[in-house]
Amino acid sequence: MSATPPPVPPQVPAPHDVAPPGPTADAGYRDVPAAEGGNAGRGWWDANAVEYLDEHGAFLGAADFCWCPEGLRERDARLLGDVAGLRVLEVGAGAAQCSRWLATQGAHVVATDVSRGMLAAGTALDRATGVRVPAVQADARRLPFADDVFDVAFTSFGAIPFVPDADAIHREVARVLRPGGTWTFSVTHPTRWAFPDDPSEHGLTANRSYFDRRPYVETDHAGRVVYAEYHRTLGDHVREVVAAGLELLDVVEPEWPTDNTEVWGGWGPVRGAYLPGTAIFRTRLPG
């Protein structure tokens, strides 16, 4: 157990400067150059941070830890265990709502995100809540931390879906974890890829192969990729974490609570009664 917080590097810009995304002109499932798709997320989240938080901020809370649209909260699930006194890293933190809650539980937490817009929103939430979380702008595939620094790392729907090389994220997290440290991440449940992104009955009928790994891509009028989201099967996720030297401890598939009426993209009570929407992988670095 670590009694002191990890060193926080100075704010550094993410490695790829990108222009703000233009209006979406086309969308679909197709292959795009890895660098172009993998770097689109920064510009998209910069441009949409305020709108995203206006729509989902009340559900997420300003200093609360929500794992998924099903509404599973860390205060109930305890997937990270007792974090008091531990060094904790949040990857793809957005506005750092989860990190802020962990700080109230006694964790020494650092939040990272590739989007300056999201981190700016986090600074505003720091002021509003009175809970300040150290935050660093960084690509999850190139974390600016020394080896063996953190006891716990996690992400709630951050980073992994938005890059073609999520294996690089797992390797980086494994590098900065101390032996015995844990890495827990929630992602869209892989089975959802086969179904339309529709929360109504229409979304209950599969219309695409589960094994089609072409990303969902949005482009602007110039043909530039402005958004990309990548699919991995259940087996893909397992192979990637094992290849990074991590042990798989558990896969949690939250059920949709009957009292949750939230509709969030393709998530909602109609589909949630029949199909899993989220998968949470709990892993550990041996040692």
Asked whether residue 212 is assigned to any structural domain, the reply reads yes
Q: Is residue 1 domain-resident?
A: no
- What residues contact residue 156 under an 8 Å CB cut-off, 6+ apart? 65, 66, 67, 68, 92, 98, 185, 186
Asked whether residue 105 is assigned to any structural domain, the reply reads: yes
Whether 18 is in a domain gets the answer: no
Residue 12 has pLDDT above 70, yes or no: no
In a domain, 10, yes or no: no
Q: Which residues contact 275 (CB under 8 A, 6 or more apart)?
A: 189, 191, 192, 195, 204
pLDDT over 90, % of the chain? 89
Q: In which domain, by residue range, is 131 found?
A: 27-285
pLDDT > 90? residue 90? yes
Decide if 143 is inside a domain: yes
Least confident window among 15-29, 144-158, 201-215, 270-284: 15-29
What global pTM score does this model have? Answer: 0.92
Given pLDDT bands bounded at 50, 70 and 90, which one contains residue 24? Answer: confident
- Answer yes or no: is 136 within a domain: yes
Please give the pLDDT value at position 21.
Answer: 60
Neighbours of 87 (CB within 10 A): 26
> Where would I find the H helices in the chain?
34-38, 40-60, 74-77, 97-104, 116-129, 166-176, 234-243, 269-272
Give whole-number Cα distances, 150 to 7, 17, 98, 239, 260, in Å.
10, 28, 16, 23, 34
- What's the CATH number where 103 sits? 3.40.50.150
Residue 72 pLDDT grade (very low, low, confident, very high; cuts 50, 70, 90): very high
Note whether residue 11 is domain-resident: no
Q: How many domains does the chain have?
A: 1
